[in-house]
Structure 1
């Protein structure tokens, strides 16, 4: 049996098992399952979710036993793993990638007494709800830094798939950059994968060859920041702080923090108070943060970013405040209006300032 097919007992569960009879522990501890789309590693999307799982263990201790399966593709394999968790006694299952949504929905119908939570999706039912973080808040601030510091006015973005979550990030990054530098152009190359270090690196290198002196990515590996470090251009990490892979190049990173949400949600399910309500947390909730700012960022830019971050946290600044125009010049949001969550969730266009074109359906 390969490692990805193993159910891994949590450190908290093992610690309790060392002091209690196993049968008593198994009867008392609620099983919580996590499905991961990429390897855990030591940085990136899955790594941050696994940190959240460990924080959940620390908070709830012997009340729970967590298990995970990593590197599960978004397809029939995901449905099998999700179903295995439910069938083997998990009270709660967290499926941590967008492409798991329809499989979670299907399995949730078959196991009405199990609670399912799905990251970044939009569907829900009596025992099934989505959760997400406002990644675009950090992206906007990254864009401000990039707009202030670029010399070439070309910014590069490695994207996974053209879904609303990714488009929000690209557009927020562009709006932030153009708020301080209207001459900026953002170029996007799609990896067509959440995790493929080879494709991510190739895309980053291509963007650098096109003149990009600032890179960022919405993919799971550290390949983009490593390419930036190798070629001597700046970069912004994503999901987690990737500075150890790019100590000179990473200016900051948009980081995601799931632990408090996981602990609060599991506690509510165990206490019988959980309701199938979507959660979309941001900076004010502690779910989105910036990694430490690189000293290479000028002092005045650091001060500007901290001031803007304070306003986002306080709710007085929303990255998607009108006017917002798309590439064709069509007004998507009127001047002074703030984009609501439903509209954000349907985003299917690039804003002005993105030089690339969205893929067309074949």
Structure 2
């Protein structure tokens, strides 16, 4: 009870002295910048050279620097589990330490952030959640990137490179975000190599190097000569390099990990997004209730430079499709026949999947070998 009272008092003080609400006029850019205090919670280690948490950290710090937000105004909490209520205590501690903007960078934080955002005591705290579906019209928004677009491009790279026609996918957790990425990657593979298949093995982890590496090694033992992944660590890339098969990274350009066996990576560019959000907060123009989902066109996601290891003609094909993403003339789940694993037609030449259907996707496309855990 005492702890709760302290947190409520902090929130009231912040409501009176920092913002007059999430939107509205501020009392001058310099003053608004100095009163900003940002709390960020990461599932991974931000000191790692690559990974999802690292990309958020880089984007946040670059945006802050450009806007004159001091490092002392940003409180970072690393390696915070997203599968139990302990993370809620971490968010509460950031608020108790004066943070008026809270950012959670993992899917599993959503339930706990939603509870806090809807607590009247915290109505003047801004909450931003990456990869989830929760939001409200008072102080809570969510954001993600259309990473499936970059996944499709890396699928093209894999489909043109494989010689065994077996491509291994080290999958994280069976949620729509991961399934959507697997499907898009597979569609990219099949667009250039109809004979290839994508073999999926689950780790049920976001960041367990031992499990991820051993899962990649299992796929390699089954004949996969290209490995890709959906985890925060580069363990699958290291397994590919050590076993002399080709590697496609995720989150960051993972060439540093796969080295001479690197092909490319599907990557995040989060600086521009965070800079816009922080600018809107400073100017009193930040809007709650938004579900942001930018893609290649907006510059939030991309494909890393192709290495010299890619098959002949790969750069030209990637450039062709990349241009179509940018001008809006092509998207992954629209206007051509797409079947699921059972042969059911899910998309036709004149239909497309809605964002709601993409965000709830729980089926595999034809060409994926594996089941959804």
TM score, norm. by length of structure 2: 0.87
Whole-angstrom distance in 1 between the partners of 2:213 and 2:160: 25
* Residue 123 (structure 2) pairs with residue 109 (structure 1): no
Asked if residue 311 in structure 1 is aligned to residue 324 in structure 2, the reply is yes
> Of 123, 127, 135, which residue of structure 2 is paired with 1:124?
135
Q: CA–CA distance in 2 between the matches of 1:172 and 1:91?
A: 37
Structure 1 residue 299: Cα displacement: 3.9
| Backbone CA RMSD of aligned residues | 1.7
CA shift digits 1:266-290 (9 cap, x unpaired): 2212222111211111111111111
Partner Cα distance (1:271, 1:63) in 2: 17
In the other structure, the counterpart of 1:344 is 358
Name which of 169, 190, 204 aligns with 1:157. Answer: 169
Query: Which shows bigger deviation, 144-153 or 59-68?
Result: 59-68
Alpha-carbon distance in 1 for matches of 2:146, 2:89: 29
Query: Is the Cα–Cα contact under 8 Å of residues 226 and 247 in structure 2 kept in the other structure?
Result: yes
Say whether 1:291 aligns with 2:297: no
Residue deviations 1:70-119 (CA, integer Å, cap 9, x gap): 00001212111111112322111110000000000001122100010000
In the alignment, does 2:86 pair up with 1:80? no
Partner of 2:45: 39
SS for the counterpart of 1:246 is: helix
Mean Cα deviation higher: 49-58 or 193-202: 49-58
Gaps of 5+ in 1: 1-23
Tell me, in whole angstroms, the C-alpha distance in 2 between the residues paired with 1:25 and 1:84.
Answer: 24
1:216 aligns to 2:228 (yes or no):
yes
Give deviations 1:11-30, integer Å, cap 9, x for gaps.
xxxxxxxxxxxxx9999331
Q: Which residue of structure 1 lines up, in the alignment, with residue 109 of structure 2?
A: 100
Look up the SS of the partner of 1:90 in the other structure.
Answer: coil
Match runs of 1:58-207 below 5 Å: 58-62=65-69, 65-74=73-82, 75-110=84-119, 111-125=122-136, 126-207=138-219
Task: Give the Cα separation in 2 of the matches to 1:247 and 1:294.
Answer: 10
Contact kept? 1:53, 1:66, Cα under 8 Å: no
Secondary structure at the aligned position of 2:256 is classed as coil
Correspondence for 2:372: 358
| Mean Cα deviation higher: 127-136 or 75-84 | 75-84
Q: Distance in 2 between matches of 1:229 and 1:27?
A: 45
Q: Tell me the SS of whatever aligns to 1:244.
A: helix
In the alignment, the residues of structure 2 paired with residue 88 and residue 25 of structure 1 have an alpha-carbon distance, to the nearest angstrom, of 19
2:130 and 2:241 map into 1 onto residues whose CA distance is: 31
For the 8 Å contact 1:36–1:97, the answer to whether it is kept is yes
1:213 and 1:91, CA in 2 relative to 1: closer, same or farther beyond 3 A?
same
- Paired residues of 2:249 and 2:264 also in contact (CA < 8 A): yes
CA distance in 2, matches of 1:244, 1:358: 31
Provide structure 2 residue ranges, at least 5 long, that are not aligned to the other structure: 1-29
Conserved? CA contact 1:92–1:266, under 8 Å = no
Which has the larger displacement, 335-344 or 185-194? 335-344
The 3-state SS of whatever aligns with 2:250 is strand
Q: Equivalent of 2:264, from 252, 259, 283? A: 252
Offset of 1:338 from its aligned partner?
A: 2.4
Structure 1 residue 335 displacement after superposition: 2.4
Structure 2 CA distance, aligned partners of 1:27 and 1:243? Answer: 37
Do the aligned partners of residues 214 and 29 (structure 1) sit closer, same or farther apart at CA in structure 2, a change above 3 Å counting?
same
Please say if residues 195 and 221 of structure 1, whose CA atoms lie closer than 8 Å, have aligned partners that are also in contact.
yes
Q: CA deviation at 1:63?
A: 6.9
Q: Deviations over 1:175-230 (max 9, x none)?
A: 01011111111111111110000000010000000110111000011111111111
